[in-house]
Structure 1
């Protein structure tokens, strides 16, 4: 048999009030513990899902910050590599400048020849240099200078060709200078003197000439390429044997070349005078220094990598800026450039007087040293340009990195504004609910006391 216990309406109302207070206290305690007023979709679906979307995007953007940081470090590694390469390039420039400082030792100089004798100086009473400079170059026979005659060297005029113009040029000869790829040829007329020959050589841009105080002629190349000097003729039209002596070609008269310019280290009566520059030991010592620094440049280029990516080795890196994909994705592609001494046009230094081929240089060759100077200046300019491009890319990444950090903070703040609880309000609610619960318990107690009074009457 079931028994039902009756509860007065007042007590039941008080119990319901206490249950409601307990429920509100539970919600209040959850908010105080989590700091959020919306903890699930049941609390407020719109705020909950909006805040969740903002938080998810903030998390996605935060995950991209690591890639941006790696991109910056990759660019910085390449930039530091370029700085190091430029420092080495400047040291190479110093080596080249040291080599250029002793240029005089490497100029080819033809052996001198006495153009005025002591007898002539005594007879005429002038200086040996003046006598030599005033001598006529061409003549049927050599003649000493005297009080009434300037004298002449007696070099024969050369008939250039056997055609209709032969008589017109029968009193001329030619002198040819060659150094490297440069050639300079000029005519000597019957009235030309040694001084005129000196002036023509000085106009050539290939060599310089002078007569010293002893009446000796010296010819010195302006560069370090071997200098070839020859006296002879240039064939005119109508030559008898065009297959051998073509019109316009220079034919050397080797015996008379020796008479005018003297003997040289490689002198032979069968060839023109060849003046070869002497090698410089100081320059030779700089070859290994140059090539060692060149190797250091390549090492710096190879070591300028970060996390396996080396922009100086032609690698490519991509930095992603947003969480989207496809056409909506924001990113920066950085294509590296293979950068080393080969691509920069800095070849190997050789200990040679002959001009080197390609991008290489000969340290004993003055023209090659200038070529090295120009190549190094161009290489430094190229490296600085590449450094500027990398700096621009780094600035772009850093700006976007700062933007992403700020945007992430905005998204998180927006999400918090939707879901965070007002802790001051919740603390006040907690106090109010505690008081409410206490009053409810007191009211229930009073109701029970009233019921007990009725029970006493029944007894």
Structure 2
């Protein structure tokens, strides 16, 4: 095109059009991208400064995501502590309930419920994690939150371990012994026989009658209770008959032997002797003369009458109590009370069971706690003419953790300490959560500030650029018209031809 010659007017207008087109292209690019600096060629200083600000904003944005996850981890731990606190309060309520009763069995049940609550506390602590991080699971779960791009500003949150409630560095709440019961048995046996006290005329004696007036008994006689048919005299059972000895004295002598009792019919003079063991009432030790003998046998059926034993008498009251002296219930012996009635009475109570063995005549007694079966009859459970002062007793192999008031009080103290620990830890997590959330808000604001600063260096003013484009379009139109006029001036020479 070097051979083409343009007039100065055309060349000037063409140059103006080319310049305008370049400027329009630049303005259109700014409007299209929204930026007035798109590369280092546009404005090196602004471009690199804005790039630095944008890079920092991106780094902080990544940290902002991490802060958000830290917030969720803290919230999960806080929710766990809130729920654990409720369970600890429930455990304290169980301890207080146990304190309201003296029943060892009920306290044992409360102990089991308390232990179940501790298990749930541990399980809940294990389930309080978020994305593999659990601030309630101890070692290896510490949480570090970084707040700036060079990691010089950060917060380390130490985990606690509540997954094992017994840890002294945690809740310090150990499972309580639930107690282990024990068993024993006692014999049901006995027999009875009768003899009649009459005078020489065959008239029945009464309790105040002189014993020497009885047929076959004189003031030279000595009456003894022997072990069955032997001549072994039972200690304390010797009665030397004197002029003043009465029938009542004989009855008292019989009654004084443990496991032996006598009933006297004032109208007929008949004496009925009940005994747990074989026994004989002899007139003089040196002879074999017997006033009466009793052959005792083990009870063989559940229908056997209890009063056919030296241990029971109509009107006796049997009482079941536990190791705290708590009375489970009482049973009054009536004339028709049977072995089955006694077994049913014992089985009426939770934590206690009884079973009668017909082959041995024994009642097997089991209890989950300490237990005592006592009677207001001193002959109850007497054996081999020996008194049993405390009845039938069971000592549990181990007591429950709530067996005594002092044990419960100690547990309540530990629960109060655990509650205080939980509240302190909740407060600490709350403080950490507040710090992270504040830094999160600060980081959001800082990112906005950085992005705004970068924008001020690189973003275009669309209103201004729109006006520039309109002006350039006008300029382009005018330049095109001017170019047309200049070209027309050059065309006038053609008219000469």
Whether TM exceeds 0.5 here: the answer is yes
Aligned counterparts of 1:6 and 1:102: Cα–Cα separation in 2: 121
Q: TM-score when scaled to structure 2?
A: 0.53
Q: Is the 8 A contact 1:361 1:371 kept in 2?
A: no
* Equivalence for 2:172: 345
Structure-2 separation of matches of 1:368 and 1:424 = 82
SS at match of 1:349: coil
Q: Based on CA coordinates, which of the two structures has the bigger radius of gyration?
A: 2
Q: Of 400, 425, 450, which aligns to 2:489?
A: 450
Specify the SS of the correspondent of 2:156.
Answer: strand
Q: Take 1:40 and 1:387, find their aligned partners in 2: how far apart are those partners?
A: 52
| 1:182-221 matches, cutoff 5 A | none
Aligned to 2:394: none
1:439 to partner: Cα distance: 0.9
- 2:49 paired with 1:50: yes
2 CA distance for matches of 1:23 and 1:3?
A: 23
Stretches of 4+ moved more than 2 A in 1?
A: 349-354
* 1:388/1:297 CA distance change after superposition, 3 Å: same
Match of 2:156 in 1: 333
Q: Does 1:17 align with 2:56?
A: no
Name the CA distance, whole Å, in 1 between partners of 2:473 and 2:77: 66
Partner residue, 1:319: 145
| Distance in 2 of aligned mates of 1:73 and 1:422 | 41
Task: Name the counterpart of 2:229.
Answer: none
Deviation at 1:361, TM superposition (A): 6.5
Q: 1:165-314 counterparts in 2 under 5 A?
A: 280-314=104-138
CA contact (8 A) 2:91 2:117 kept: yes
Distance 1:3 1:336 in 2: 83
**Counterpart in 2 of 1:396?**
435
Structure 1 unpaired stretches of 5+: 106-279, 355-359
Consecutive unaligned residues of structure 2, counting only runs of 5 or more, are 180-322, 324-368, 370-398
- Does 2:472 correspond to 1:433? yes
Structure 2 residue aligned with 1:188: none
SS in 1 for 2:485: helix
Distance change in 2, residues 1:54/1:430 (3 Å) = same
Mean CA deviation greater in 421-430 or 343-352: 343-352
The alignment partner of 1:332 has SS state of strand
- Give 1:35's aligned residue: 34
CA deviations 1:92-120 (Å, max 9, x no partner) are 111111111113x5xxxxxxxxxxxxxxx
Query: Could you say which structure has the higher helix fraction?
Result: 1
Please name the residue that 1:89 is paired with: 88
Contact 2:166–2:175 at 8 Å: present in 1 too? no
Spell out, residue by residue over 1:158-181, the C-alpha distance to the aligned partner (whole angstroms, 9 max, x if none): xxxxxxxxxxxxxxxxxxxxxxxx
Q: Using structure 1 for the length normalisation, give the TM-score.
A: 0.58
Distance 1:3 1:66, change over 3 A: closer
Question: Is 1:409 paired with 2:235?
Answer: no
Contact 1:77 1:306 in 2 (8 A): yes
Q: State how many pairs are aligned.
A: 274
Higher relative strand content: 2
Of 448, 453, 460, the match for 1:421 = 460
- What is the Cα deviation at residue 283 of structure 1? 1.5
Superposed CA deviations along residues 43-69 of structure 1, whole A, max 9, x for unmatched, are 111111111111111111001111101
Cα offsets for 1:355-385 (capped at 9, x unmatched) = xxxxx97211221111111010011111111
Contact 2:108-2:400 within 8 A present in 1 as well: no
- The match for 1:160 is none
8 Å contact kept, 1:361–1:369: no
Cα distance in 1 for partners of 2:86, 2:74 equals 19
Whether the 8 Å contact between 2:63 and 2:146 is mirrored in structure 1 is yes
Q: Distance in 2 between matches of 1:283 and 1:70?
A: 45
